[in-house]
Amino acid sequence: MNREAIYSALFAKLSAIPGLKTKSRRLKHWSDVDKSAQPALFMAQTGETAQTTTGQPTRWTFKVDVYLYARTDGNLVPGTIINSLLDAICDALKPSPITGRVDLGIQGVEWCRIDGQIETDEGTLGDQAVAIVPIIILTS
């Protein structure tokens, strides 16, 4: 298992989403990302869990949070941009119709998927929208 290869493969898949002006694995707060650099995607590693069984190889679960930022000017609701980016992430992580899994093209990755509550702030009190998407990756 190569952790960096796994995280890099996920980032490459998400970075291919059209319309993103900024993509980074170094998290920034939305107030530090200029409006001209949004929509933006940031990926942060948030934890790893080992599952061990005697006589079996350790299985690892990697946790990642993907941060999406979109800022608009007055008339356009920023949530509309976030919604299309969320749809694009779901499409990027859509399971293969053949295997039923997203393995990121990496040997040893059993699956990768969105898991848990997606937190959103659609810019209700301003022009900045934010979403945090929890993703988990299981190795075999």
User: Binning pLDDT at 50, 70 and 90, where does residue 125 land?
Assistant: low
User: Binning pLDDT at 50, 70 and 90, where does residue 42 land?
Assistant: very high
For residue 77, give the amino acid letter.
V
- The answer to whether 122 touches 129, Cβ cutoff 8 Å, is yes
**Structural domain boundaries in the chain:** 3-139
Q: 3-139 belongs to which homologous superfamily?
A: Phage minor tail protein U (3.30.70.1700)
pLDDT, tens digit (0-9, with 9 covering 90-100), for 79-106: 889 999 999 999 999 998 888 888 898 9
